[in-house]
Amino acid sequence: MKVISLSFTTLVLFAAPAISMAADKIIHLPFAQVVAEAQKAGRLDPNIKFYLAGNAPDGTVTVVNDNATTNRKTNAFGKKDQTTCDWVLQSALIALQDDAKAAGANAVVDIVSNYNDVVYSDPGNYECHVGFLMSGVQLKAKLAKVQ
């Protein structure tokens, strides 16, 4: 019995790093669709607007915080990549929304993905890192008042 237990433990110790790294990948997905779904579900306040870098709001923009960041992760085990990425993006946007409200802002502008301080900027997509166990989104943005 002790031999079986030791063999199993050894197998797990050697297999765990390979399994955890098995699905590490970077994917780019549509941003606006996630924002619309989160607003429809009531998770995002429609009075706070979100703009990826490359998309500017109409009107006068006054930046109140030029260094808002968020880093969110979610469970990805056994789930589709887009499902976990959209969920974790919503979580990141909720955090930025809360920061915007606290700062008196009504918009989050110049949003870029900033995973491990590597900037990915696209006017239509966000970057998500998907692993075997976790998916993650890191964003950097500016909080602003738009009039």
Measured CA to CA, the distance from residue 146 to residue 70 in angstroms comes to 21
Round the CA-based radius of gyration of the chain to a whole number and report it: 19
Name the one residue in this structure whose structure tokens are 């880093």: 71
The pTM assigned to this predicted structure is 0.83
* Paired strand residues for 70: 139
The 10s digit of each residue's pLDDT in 19-60 is 444 458 999 999 999 999 999 999 999 999 999 999 999 999
Q: Which CATH class is domain 23-146?
A: alpha beta
Burial 125-145 (b: 16+ CB within 10 A, else e): bbbbbbbeebbbbbbbbbbbb
Report the chain's terminal Cα–Cα distance, integer Å: 72
Query: Which residues of the chain register pLDDT less than 70?
Result: 1-23
Q: Which sequence spans correspond to the domains of the chain?
A: 23-146
